[in-house]
Amino acid sequence: MAAAAVGAAAGGRGVLRRWLRDLGHDPVLALGHAAVALFLLGFVVAPLVAVAFAPGPADWARVAATPRWRTAALNTLTLVGLSTASSLVLGTLYAFAVTRARLPLRRLFEAVPLVLLVTPSFVSGLAFILLVGRRGLLTYHLLGLETSVYGWHGVWLAQTLSFFPVAYLVLRGVFLAHDARLEQAARGLGASRWRLLGTVTLPLATPGLLAAGLFIGIGVLGDFGNPMLVGGRFRVLATEVYTELTGWASVGTSAALGLLLLVPAVLLFAAQQRVQAATAGRFTTVGGRASGLEAPLPPPALRWALFGLCAAVTLFVAASQGVVVAGSLTRLWGVDHALTGEHYAYVLTRSRPLLNSVRFAASAALLGALVAAVTAYLVHRTRVPLRRGLDLATLLPAAVPGTLMGVAYVLVFNRPPLKLTGTGALIVIAMAASYLPVGYRICSAALQQLKASLDESAANLGASRARAFLTVILPLTWTAVAAAFAFTFVQAVGTLSTVIFLVSFDTPLAAVDVLNLAAQGRWGRACALATALLVVTFAGLGLAYLLTGGRLRGIDAAGRVGA
Amino acid sequence: MTRAAAAARVGDPPDAADADRAGAAGSVVLRGLTKRFGAVTAVDALDLTVAPGSFTTLLGPSGCGKTTVLRLVAGFAEPDAGTVHVGGRDVTGVPPDKRGVGLVFQDYALFPHMSVRRNVEYGLRMRRLPRQARAERVARVLATLGLEGLADRYPDQLSGGQQQRVALGRVMALEPQVLLLDEPLSNLDAQLRVRLRTELKELQRTLGVTALYVTHDQEEALSLSDEVVVMDAGRVQQAGSPEDVYRRPASRFVARFVGQANLLPVTAVGTEGDGRLRAAWERGELVLALPDERVPAPGTAGVAVVRPERVALAGPDGADAAAGPGSAAALALPGRVTAVDYFGPYRRYTVAVPGLADPWLADVPDAEDRHRRPGDDVTLTVSGEPSWAW
């Protein structure tokens, strides 16, 4: 123990000494290093450490003894199994259809998962309620059913739709990377089209499936928006964390519930990192050079089944976005379907939440992209001390359920020295930290494609690290940084899980308001606000796309980290 | 020299200027240089002095540590022990941007988003040279390298040879005293490689810059260098002129790595004086040239090295004709031809020699060749003096 402390102190001194040396050689680098290190320490690591020690023995005992939470835990695990499996199946089929089946309307089908990926979860949630809810367009009005989407099956369906794009992106990459020669060779060796799928195509995709599955599992564990909107009385841990803190102001038990989520999430995350590292090399050798050959077509029956699947998903997505717009123009959905502009009038007269969402998300995107780019540079292109630590801390939010992060922020920033609760700054920081892994992966991928000799030649020609970054590295990777900005913005505009703990009377957010309006049954206003957010989201993406001349890179990286 | 120009001269801080003029300018001195990567010692207590203005080549197989040495000199890695002096200045621990050595990368590392002009100008901008001075210097470098017409092209619009020249020009613009080159010709096709080799050597001589060149290509090393440093396993195996290294390789490794070598196990008998050694082999005694000052004690086992172009083929009974200890002709070995390869100027015979594990090679000039076939019994005779290798 004492030896470990001495060792840590010596290690700390070594780090400090090397940092001071860097400060002398290259002050901008050293200060940038210190800045991101302090940001990650202050806003990622410290809150998590604090929240880990928040629950006392009494809190843990209560959590263990309460049947309601046992049920919630069981529900969460069940959903992880169900939604992960269904997302994987749908994502794989969809990716296979788009990359291999040479379907008509392929371009349209390719766009759908990407649209879903950037659509805030509450839009789908709202659409669900409007389409298949108690007074749903499909169920009540067309089919005359009195069923309810609220409950486990609704959450399952909503999560499948939310998470299949992640599987789709990973598997699409896998299918595109596979050398068609392998499959042509298998055909040449006498494999039938069906045998080919089972013996070559799917086995080659297994590592990708595994990585995507682990990742989706983490997402489902921490998913807050879908269960909140369509869960009804079906409770999961992520929503319980929120209820426990906001309803009962019990930091200890809500932290304990969040930590229950953290353990499996971190395990899945570690497994996912391992799978990715272990298979990275194999993928590239399998991929290798793109040969001009096209992969063999799947059997016709399968092709048309796949077309049907893609068309159904596309129609559903179009319908769900359309129904939200329709809902925003309807006086009272399910009761009075008269056309009205009153909901937009409401949204525009009370425009503060919307403006806040845009401002905060844009600031968060700026902050996040900056931290991501600098950290990625430091980790992948320099030999500054603590690189491994920076790398882990940057990826950590991907493994931390958003609600736990929310509790942690409330816990740490509710008192001096950093009393930030109720400020927009804290919301901005929370958004930036939550989506740091996405931006970091995008920037890392771009940096790793640059030859190391570029930095070295800049240095050899007399450029300091900071100048090499500004004159060589940034100009060559700025489209990735722009992508990091765009994706952080898109996710931040629609996020609920962490920020829902941090909004105050002075800092309302549109996404949280949508949830509240929906909870009050004010569908029209909720839909109008959601539509406005959707417009902002796509406007932001479009702007980024135009500014980079259509070279917004790294959307696949976003898929790898998950939404 | 203007103040700005003086400042732009790489690695030449004002206080070091005097020392430079005293004669150390352009020298590279490595002392006890050691670099470990985990359990692997890439560079092992290496000592090396590169004379100012010389063309010195680090030659060795991949993984021998030669590139690591270059990176240690350039400052991209820090040694675990030892020092690096450039131009008389201790640069150990100095970051790469303040080392004042120019490095030409194997992959050229041209900045893809900058034109040729901007690439060549880059180092001058980093040194905050005024615009006018920059333009002049760039124009001069481009003219020297015959790149004037390409100034506004981008790297991806250039051929490999042109890219190579730009990479060289980018470094030359800073007028470094020491030029490091990391296999700069390895990505070019064979003919261009030979042509650029000649150009490179001329340029280096004209500029009077010290060149430290890394390659695994022994032909390149022999043709370019004033001094060849053969490395293996992080250590210097032999350093000397190309002729020294080729004619009198100091070790079996050098003998085999630089050119082709025929080896004959021998035992040292005693010194002949004058850098010569008397050694015994299975069937008599030989006089061998020694590669360096070290004299093997009597009884030391070593090998005699014979280059294939020194071997001639005689008929099977020629072995009896060549006898008499003390002369090179003492070395005559019976063997059987196992393979014949025609190279144009000469024919290479592979000859199995009873009692030797490795076959001997004989390069027989085309004009003198008597067209022997595999299976023919021959006698190998050696002209000139074989050398001793440890």
Report pLDDT for A146. 64
B126 touches chain A (CB under 8 A): yes
The DSSP H or E segment spanning B179 is: strand B178-182
Report pLDDT for A87. 94
Q: Report domain extents, chain A.
A: 24-288+296-312+351-506+547-561
In this complex, which of A26, A458, A461 lies closest to B174 when CB atoms are compared?
A461
Kindly list the distances between the CA atom of residue A83 and the CA atoms of A214, A491, A558, B168, in Å, as whole numbers in the listed order: 12, 21, 20, 58
| In the predicted structure, residue B15 carries a pLDDT above the cut 50 | no
Residue position matching structure tokens 């879908």: A226
Residues of chain A in contact with residue B109, where contact means CB-CB under 8 angstroms, are 451, 453-454, 456-457
Q: How far is CA A504 from the centre of its chain?
A: 24
Contact check, Cβ <8 Å, A457/B74: no
Tokens of A467: 């100048």
Q: What is the ipTM of this complex?
A: 0.77
Is domain A24-288+296-312+351-506+547-561 given the CATH code 2.60.40.10 in the classification? no
- CA separation for the pair B82, B31 (Å, rounded): 5
Residues of chain B in contact with residue A471, where contact means CB-CB under 8 angstroms, are 122
Confidence of residue B5 (pLDDT cuts 50, 70, 90): very low
Contact check, Cβ <8 Å, A456/B126: no
Task: Report which DSSP code applies to A178.
Answer: S
Which range is least confidently modeled, A492-496, B118-122, B294-298? B294-298
pLDDT, tens digit, 9 for 90 and up, residues A217-263: 888 988 888 888 888 788 898 888 888 888 777 888 888 988 988 88
Contact check, Cβ <8 Å, A464/B109: no
In this complex, which of B98, B107, B126 lies closest to A451 when CB atoms are compared?
B107
Confidence of residue A292 (pLDDT cuts 50, 70, 90): low
Confidence of residue A16 (pLDDT cuts 50, 70, 90): confident
Q: How far is A461 from chain B (nearest CA, A)?
A: 5
Whole-structure pTM over 0.90, yes or no? no
Summarize the confidence of residues A123-149 as an average pLDDT: 74
Can you count the helices (H) and strands (E) in chain A?
A: 27, 2
Report pLDDT for A312. 93
Report pLDDT for B38. 87
Report pLDDT for A358. 93
Short-list B54, B88, B48, CA closest to B68: B48
pLDDT, tens digit, 9 for 90 and up, residues B203-245: 888 888 999 999 998 888 998 899 999 999 888 889 999 998 9
Confidence of residue A379 (pLDDT cuts 50, 70, 90): very high
pLDDT, tens digit, 9 for 90 and up, residues A176-232: 776 666 777 777 776 777 777 777 777 777 878 888 888 888 889 888 888 888 887
Can you count the helices (H) and strands (E) in chain B?
A: 11, 20
What percent of chain A stands above pLDDT 70? 89
A520 touches chain B (CB under 8 A): no
Residues of chain A in contact with residue B112, where contact means CB-CB under 8 angstroms, are 476
| In the predicted structure, residue B8 carries a pLDDT above the cut 70 | no
pLDDT, tens digit, 9 for 90 and up, residues A490-524: 889 988 888 888 988 888 999 999 988 888 888 89
| In the predicted structure, residue B12 carries a pLDDT above the cut 70 | no
A62 touches chain B (CB under 8 A): no
Q: Partners of B210 in the beta sheet? A: B178
**Would you tell me which residues 452-471 of chain A have a C-beta closer than 8 angstroms to some C-beta of chain B?**
453-454, 456-464, 467, 471
Summarize the confidence of residues A116-120 as an average pLDDT: 84
Contact check, Cβ <8 Å, B122/A451: no
Task: Report which DSSP code applies to A549.
Answer: T
Q: How far is A474 from chain B (nearest CA, A)?
A: 11
**Would you tell me which residues 9-38 of chain A have a C-beta closer than 8 angstroms to some C-beta of chain B?**
25-26
Report pLDDT for A409. 92
Q: How far is A236 from chain B (nearest CA, A)?
A: 48
The DSSP H or E segment spanning B381 is: strand B377-382
Classify the C-alpha dihedral A390-A395-A401-A403 as positive or negative: positive
Question: Which is more confidently placed, B18 or B86?
Answer: B86
Report pLDDT for B9. 40
Summarize the confidence of residues A123-150 as an average pLDDT: 74
Confidence of residue A45 (pLDDT cuts 50, 70, 90): very high
Question: Which is more confidently placed, B173 or B5?
Answer: B173
Residues of chain A in contact with residue B103, where contact means CB-CB under 8 angstroms, are 456-457, 460
Return the top range by mean pLDDT from A276-285, A360-369, B137-146, B257-266.
Answer: A360-369
Residues of chain A in contact with residue B101, where contact means CB-CB under 8 angstroms, are 460
Domains of chain B: 3-244 (3.40.50.300), 263-389 (2.40.50.100)
- CA separation for the pair B88, B20 (Å, rounded): 7
Q: How far is B118 from chain A (nearest CA, A)?
A: 11
Report pLDDT for B13. 41
Taking all residues of chain B, what is their mean pLDDT, rounded to a whole number? 84
